[in-house]
Structure 1
């Protein structure tokens, strides 16, 4: 984490140091309440938000592929049964591969060990 002299929102990391309307003590980005006089309500460090979002994508992709392939296997949608199982296998393998790459990236960058 980088330390800056800017006030940043604790939830979304939005820069709160610029001029806000008089009396406005909410983050314009996420709406979280902060008090400029109370350092416990804001931060001076920047955070990387991408790992949370990067893990979300393969999980949702895998869930979508598994649910879609269940419709094919069930017979609700017309597709040969062998192709349905192949789709299920491909979806599971693809999401596992992407998740493995992301975990490897997090370990290689030191993010998992707190060396941000």
Structure 2
């Protein structure tokens, strides 16, 4: 498990490529304000938009989550703690005026990028 990438993984890179190709610029692994060890996967700092691409296993996807048979209690606690941390970070960011968008790694990158672009365009002043 230690060889799995925290950032620059396949699903995240696919979304980032599409966003960059659309002319958007963003921060990667941007620190959550007031938190030393928590980061935002893709941060649009001016728009105060935090985007997370959550792994199905690590964050307990309702569609694709699996439960290891070995040490199952420990894994259930670990995934529950991850979900609680996700909720805590979301609440904190929303309290600071950020919009938080969370996606699962199994979602199609083009659909994820389209939703992000749509949200960012809503906040733009009319041309």
TM range (shorter): 0.3 to 0.5
* Between structures 1 and 2, the one with greater helix share: 1
Which is greater in Rg? 1
Relative contact order (C-alpha < 8 Å, sep 6+): which is higher? 2
- Normalising by structure 1, what TM-score? 0.36
